[in-house]
Chain A
């Protein structure tokens, strides 16, 4: 009976203290009954391998003990979808900005990229993943309800929205902003020897004229695209690609303004010539340092635009509304 006793001891190790003796006694009785019955049919004592066969048939000690325990989970099925969503957002928030900043440095100034300590990324992910999981495990135990599962109303659900639909408010906003920007930009930054920016006299290098017309062209094209989007409220591959190209062109232009030394001098009535010179020098030193950050922003915008094009292939038609997205 040595094997049986060892088996029961192994099972009892995993059982809750309060029920341990009771469960083991009952299981022991069943196994002994099985053995006795087999001995009676064979007319002899069982060998160790025959006892082993009966115990193996019963299942591993851990599996047997687990069946007596209540079903346990760190985060239950009701909370799990919310947990998975929050975990995804948190981890994406940890990883994506850091990778983009690193990429920006890698493009602009590779020697600075090593300062970002990308090897710490893994520990950051584990840290945030652990605390998110811990928080949800506590919510699960405390019975906090994020979503009312009983007293809910179908009318309070958000309206069906096709992922490729362009909200009219967005198009109207872009049109209004585009008009204001074009008027403001063309009026203030028109290439001329000295630009008067609310009393501050700014002298820009001749290269500025290229940037000026570039920005103006990009803003005008964006304005036209917003007008088309207002009339045809679903993204098409063609228009989504135009948006990506325009955003990329605008972003690259904007980034290169910072490293092209377009600023020749800054003068104001309240500034002495020495202070003006110092300010100009400081601005010309400071502006190129913004270049990597601009590249990061451009990459984020391009990624969002690229995802929009990808999504077009995924949802060519609304599965709910049956809306055909025109080419």
Chain B
């Protein structure tokens, strides 16, 4: 394995780690309004936060298990779709996370 390949792998791992924490915040913020999985992905991608289906749906499931989201199956355009939205607990947690994010952002701005 060449040095540049190793460096790329290291960068990719670090990038994934950096993104992982941000994804939950991004998903929660987009679910202030009700969406189903595919439109949520499109909305996130439109704002530069690409997320594949293999990552999004397990994340939605986890957030729902934690009580931050609520969901229901409904028919739309002759197909059953699962719609997600923030629960009251999720709204509160999102506010806390946004405050935390702003704090981290401000700190990093100073450090970097």
Interface residues of A, Cβ cutoff 8 Å to B: 23, 25-27, 29-34, 57-59, 63-64, 67-68
Asked if B101 is at the interface (CB within 8 A of a chain A CB), the reply is no
Note all chain B residues with C-beta closer than 8 A to A32: 79
Verify A30–B61 contact, CB threshold 8 A: no
Determine the interface band of chain B, counting residues with CB < 8 A from chain A: 10 to 19
Interface residues of B, Cβ cutoff 8 Å to A: 36-38, 41, 52-55, 57-58, 61, 73, 79-82
When C-beta atoms are compared, the residue in chain B nearest to A64 turns out to be B54
Closest-CB distance, B84 to chain A (whole angstroms): 10
Given A25-B80, A68-B61, also A30-B38 (CB < 8 A): yes
Partner of B38, one of A23, A33, A59: A33
Verify B82–A29 contact, CB threshold 8 A: yes
Closest-CB distance, B30 to chain A (whole angstroms): 16
Given A34-B38, A67-B58, A68-B61, also A26-B52 (CB < 8 A): no
Verify B36–A67 contact, CB threshold 8 A: no
When C-beta atoms are compared, the residue in chain B nearest to A32 turns out to be B79
Given A29-B38, A30-B53, A57-B52, also A68-B82 (CB < 8 A): no
Closest-CB distance, B13 to chain A (whole angstroms): 17
Verify B82–A67 contact, CB threshold 8 A: no
Number of A-B contacts defined by CB within 8 Å: 42
Note all chain B residues with C-beta closer than 8 A to A63: 54
Verify B54–A29 contact, CB threshold 8 A: no
In the assembled complex, the Cα of A117 lies from the Cα of B31 at a distance in Å of 68
Closest-CB distance, A241 to chain B (whole angstroms): 42
In the assembled complex, the Cα of A27 lies from the Cα of B79 at a distance in Å of 13
Verify A68–B58 contact, CB threshold 8 A: yes
Partner of A29, one of B37, B52, B61: B37
Note all chain A residues with C-beta closer than 8 A to B80: 25, 29
Verify A26–B54 contact, CB threshold 8 A: no
Most buried by A among B37, B54, B57, B81: B54
Note all chain B residues with C-beta closer than 8 A to A29: 36-38, 79-82
Note all chain B residues with C-beta closer than 8 A to A25: 73, 80, 82
Beyond A29-B81, A30-B53, A68-B58, 16 additional contacts (C-beta under 8 Å) are A25-B73, A25-B82, A26-B57, A27-B57, A29-B36, A29-B80, A30-B37, A30-B38, A30-B41, A30-B57, A32-B79, A34-B38, A58-B54, A59-B54, A67-B54, A68-B57
Note all chain A residues with C-beta closer than 8 A to B53: 27, 30-31, 58, 64
Verify B52–A58 contact, CB threshold 8 A: yes
> What are 21 A-B contacts with C-beta separation under 8 Å?
A23-B57, A23-B61, A25-B82, A26-B82, A27-B53, A29-B82, A30-B37, A30-B38, A30-B53, A30-B57, A31-B53, A33-B38, A34-B38, A58-B52, A58-B54, A59-B52, A63-B54, A64-B54, A67-B54, A67-B57, A68-B58
In the assembled complex, the Cα of A27 lies from the Cα of B81 at a distance in Å of 10
In the assembled complex, the Cα of A206 lies from the Cα of B55 at a distance in Å of 85
Closest-CB distance, B59 to chain A (whole angstroms): 9
Note all chain B residues with C-beta closer than 8 A to A23: 57, 61
Note all chain A residues with C-beta closer than 8 A to B82: 25-26, 29
Most buried by B among A26, A57, A59: A26
In the assembled complex, the Cα of A18 lies from the Cα of B84 at a distance in Å of 20
Verify B58–A26 contact, CB threshold 8 A: no
Note all chain A residues with C-beta closer than 8 A to B52: 57-59
Note all chain B residues with C-beta closer than 8 A to A26: 37, 57, 82
When C-beta atoms are compared, the residue in chain A nearest to B39 turns out to be A33
Closest-CB distance, A58 to chain B (whole angstroms): 6
Closest-CB distance, A82 to chain B (whole angstroms): 27
In the assembled complex, the Cα of A178 lies from the Cα of B3 at a distance in Å of 59
